[in-house]
Structure 1
């Protein structure tokens, strides 16, 4: 559950802009570089780049979020940002278009935070991710370790299963069930 900011605490600030691409791949790479530069600035919280087709043209949307208006202003005055902005006109058509929350909704990007999945759904997803590698380890590896102490076998089992589940099977399950990104 997200807590509201303390009284007097600065609120995060997000700037969203879209550009129409003259060179789509170059503009997407430029936007990724811009976000990498922004990520090195104090107060940077998040960045977003996405690419879509509108009326047969490629449009790249870029968003950066900073912890406060002062952090955003520091970014907007930075030499890194000025350098990136000097590059972009050659690969775009027309001026940048500032986006509002309403614009994002029209573009099909939901600004509402979804509810977290229930604990039951989370437990089922983890079980689905854990079962196949656990079955393989139990069938193929553990019979050969029957003479080993239980604690050592358990240590080996967890050393193998945790990374496999965290880096391979759980991300796959989440992607297949629409339960998470990356």
Structure 2
């Protein structure tokens, strides 16, 4: 087996706390920014707490089920080289 094949199948462990914190920030910041830009006009009449509740209710599933799995795959590809 050559070195390239071994690098492809080498398992990657879970992220460190620092890596996970960075990944979460990379996932959450753009998601919340886009949601604020798109939903902001519709939520402008709400108070801070209800607006935050709506944004969190929409953002959390997007981050957990959409963005984080892609970031984990990207991290694994990057580290398995």
CA deviation after TM superposition for structure 1 residue 167, in Å: 0.6
Aligned pair count reads 70
Aligned match for 1:157, one of 36, 42, 55: 55
* Structure 1 residues 148 and 176: CA distance shift in structure 2, 3 A: same
Partner of 1:144: 42
Deviations 1:80-115 (A, max 9, x none): xxxxxxxxxxxxxxxxxxxxxxxxxxxx5668x84x
Deviation at 1:142, TM superposition (A): 1.9
Runs of 5+ consecutive residues of structure 1 not aligned to the other structure = 1-107
* Structure with greater helix percent: 2
In the other structure, the counterpart of 1:125 is: 23
Question: TM-score when scaled to structure 2?
Answer: 0.72
Stretches of structure 2 lacking an aligned partner (at least 5 in a row) = 1-5
Structure 1 runs of 4+ aligned residues shifted over 2 Å read: 108-111
| Higher normalized contact order (CA 8 Å, seq sep 6+, divided by chain length) | 2
- 2:3 corresponds to: none
How does 1:1-182 map onto structure 2 within 5 Å?
114=13, 116-178=14-76
The structure with the greater share of residues assigned to strand is 1
Instruction: Compute the RMSD of aligned alpha carbons.
Output: 2.3
